[in-house]
Amino acid sequence: MNKENIFSRSGIPSKKAKANYFTGKVVAKDISATIKPKNEKIYHVTFKRGTRTKLHFHSGGQTLIGTRGKGSISLYKRFGNKITNFKIKKTKTINLRVGDCVYIPAKTLHTHGAITNKSDFSHIAINSFPKNNVEPTTTWYESDFQTNVTQRLK
């Protein structure tokens, strides 16, 4: 077995998550910094009680695998051509538990995180490169999670 691909969980560095991309506290471990895959970025993300991501999409697809607690993902449809101040509608919510796996296609507006204020939720996030040697990007938005997007976040 190749020793370069073996790592312990304690050896995975934390990645500082931008606080304005979440509704509460998040801890992220950058698995890809340790194992250095060539076609994706991989993170182990823990959402503290009731915390969710803000509305966002990825330039490549994203796979989420539940590892602890109960969470959910909500998918949205966008209305209008504006970069900011556009309308949204929730089209689907999927509950996630340990071992559940969901794939989100590229450029699909969504949010995900812990379901309740009583427990944390963790998942592995695998962000696929949209093209060979092109790292995935994420576009974040401020919204009311119901009908309105008010700004693009930086």
131 contact partners, CB below 8 Å, separation of at least 6: none
pLDDT on residue 84: 84
The answer to whether residue 16 scores a pLDDT higher than 80 is: no
Ordered domains of the chain (ranges, CATH): 13-153 (2.60.120.10)
Q: Band of the pLDDT at 136, cuts 50, 70, 90? A: very high
Classify burial at 14, counting beta carbons within 10 Å of its beta carbon; exposed 0-12, middle 13-18, buried 19 or more: exposed
- Nearest to 148, CA basis, from 117, 109, 114: 109
Task: Give the up-direction half-sphere exposure of residue 38: CA atoms within 13 A in the CB hemisphere.
Answer: 2
Q: Is the pLDDT of residue 4 over 50?
A: no
Per-residue pLDDT tens digits for 96-116: 999 999 999 999 999 999 998
Question: Residues 126-138: what's their mean pLDDT?
Answer: 94
Please report which confidence band the pLDDT of residue 6 belongs to, taking 50, 70 and 90 as the band edges: very low
| pTM for this entry | 0.89
Predicted pLDDT at 2 = 42
Instruction: Label residue 1 by pLDDT band (50, 70, 90).
Output: very low
Write the pLDDT tens digit of every residue in 40-83: 999 999 999 999 999 999 999 999 999 999 999 999 999 988 88
Structure tokens at 77: 């449809």
The radius of gyration of the chain from alpha carbons, rounded to an integer in Å, stands at 16
58 versus 16: the higher-pLDDT residue is 58
